[in-house]
Amino acid sequence: MLKDSGVRITPQRHAILEYLVVCESHPTADEIYKALEHKFPNMSVATVYNNLRVFKKTGLVKELTYGDASSRFDFSNKQHYHIICTHCGKIVDFFYPGLDEVEDLAAQVTGFTVNSHRLEVYGLCPECQNKKAENKEKMKVTE
């Protein structure tokens, strides 16, 4: 895709994209930089941001903004959705093909030409649920 878009594939670009492909945590640009700085000591945070911008333009990466101060980045090879922990901010992918029909319905009902859709589900991740349960147990013991 990068070659088709006329984008040169540098070692830094390859490493950033590879990191996004294998990373399931939807990292920030700073997290990507910190993960790769040992491999590329001369690479700057600006280089990471610039490459993420290139990846966004080619459609390989999506920028996720969910209310916190920093954007997170997601390698997007399939349509998927996100569930976000309201306590720790962890973002997990999930797939549900039935929601594609929502675009058709929205277009039909409103007359809009639909370009895309986004679904966010919020809740408490298993780790935070366990911590909450442990804290409740500790409170009972001290009472």
Run means of pLDDT, 10 residues per run, the chain, 143 residues:
79 94 90 95 94 91 79 85 89 83 92 89 94 82 66
Domain spanning 1-77: which CATH class is it, in words?
mainly alpha
Say if residue 82 carries a ligand binding annotation: no
pLDDT computed for residue 67 by the predictor: 62
For the whole model, what pTM was predicted? 0.75
Say if residue 23 carries a ligand binding annotation: no
Q: Indicate the domain borders of the chain.
A: 1-77, 78-143
Say if residue 80 carries a ligand binding annotation: no
Dihedral sign of CA atoms 49, 53, 58, 59 in order: positive
Q: Are strands 72-75 and 81-85 parallel, antiparallel or unpaired?
A: unpaired
Say if residue 26 carries a ligand binding annotation: no
Return d(Cα 80, Cα 18) in angstroms, integer: 19
Residues facing residue 81 across a β-bridge: 94
3-state DSSP assignment of residue 8 = coil
pLDDT computed for residue 37 by the predictor: 94
Say if residue 117 carries a ligand binding annotation: yes
The fold for domain 78-143 equals Dna Ligase; domain 1 (3.30.1490)
